[in-house]
Structure 1
Amino acid sequence: MNAEQWKKVQTLFKEIVDLEPDQRTLRLESVKTEDPLLYDELYSLLSADSQETSLLDGFAIERVDLSDLVPMDGVQVGPYRVAEKIGTGGMGNVYLAHRVQGGFEQTVALKLTKYGMGTPRAIEHFEAERSILASLQHPNIARLIDGGITDEGRPWFAMEYVQGENLISWCDRLSLPVKKRLKLFLKVCEAVQYAHKNLIVHRDLKPANIMVTGEDTDPQVRLLDFGIAQILEGPDDPGSERRAMTRAYASPEQRDGRPTSTSSDIYSLGVILHQLLSGCHPDPKFRSEGCLPSPVDRELEAICGMALTEDPERRFESASEMSDEIRSWLNERPVSVYSKAPLYRAGKWLKRNRAASFIGIFSIISIIILVFIYTMELKSETERAQSEADRATRIASVLGSSLLSIDPMQNQGQELTALGMVDMSSAYINTELKEDPRTRAELLILMADVYANLIALEKADSISALAVGLWKESQQDTTSFTYINMLADRSIILDKAGKYDEAMDVMQQALSLANENLEPGSLEFASVYLDYTYHLDVNQDYARADSVLRLVEPIYENNAEEAGQTYDDFVFYMGTNYRRLGEYELAEEYLFRSLELSRARYPGIHEKIASTLNHISSLYQNMGRYEDAISYAIDAHEMRLEIFGPGHLNTIAAHSNTARAYGGAGRLEESAETYRDVLTIFREEYGNENFYIAGILQSYGNVYLRMEEYAQAEEIMREALDHSERLLPADHIRQAYPLKGLAEALRGQQRCDEAMPFAERAYTLRSNQLPGDHPELMTTRYTLGRCLWDLDRQDEAETHLRDALAFFRDNPERFESQIRELEALGL
Structure 2
Amino acid sequence: MDTASGEDQFQHIFIAALDLSGEARDAFLDKVCRKQPDLREEIEEILATLDPTELTGSKEKRALDIFGFCLDLDREARAMYLAKVAERCAEVREKVDKLLTSHGEAADAEFIEASPMADPEQVPSTGLKANDVVGPYRVIHEIGRGGMGAVYMATRKDEEFEQEVALKILPYAMATQDLISRFNNERQIMANLSHPNIATLLDGGATDDGLPYFVMEYVDGVPIHDYCDFQKLTIAARLRLFRKVCSAVHFAHQNLVVHRDLKPGNILVTAAGEPKLLDFGIAKILRPGSHEPVTLTESGVRPMTPEYASPEQVRGEIVTTESDIYALGLLLYELLSGHRAHRFGNRTEEDVQRVVCDDYPPRPSVVFWERFQIERARGTVVLTPESISEKRRTDPRRMERQLRGDLDNMIMKAITKDPDLRYASAEQFSLDIVNYLSGHPVLARGHSPLYLMQRFWERHQFAMMTTFIMVVMVLLFVVTALVQHRETLAQRRAAEMQRAKAHFVGEFFSDLFAVPQVGGPAGEIPANLITDRAMRRIQEFYPDNPAVQAAVMHTVGSVCLNLGAENQAESIITEALALRREQGEARDVAESLRVLAGIHARRRHFDKAECLLLEARSLTEAEDDQIAALMDGQVLQDLAEVYDGQGRHDLAEPMLWRALAVFHNQDQRDPERVSRILYALISHYQELEKWSHEEVLLKWALEEQIQAGSDEYLVHTFARVAEKLRREGEHARADYFLQCAFDLSRETYGAQHRLARNLEQALREFDETGVAEPEPNDSPLVQ
Give the TM bin, normalised by the shorter chain: 0.3 to 0.5
**TM-score normalized with structure 2 length:** 0.40
**TM-score normalized with structure 1 length:** 0.38
Kindly indicate which of the two structures has a greater share of residues assigned to helix: 1
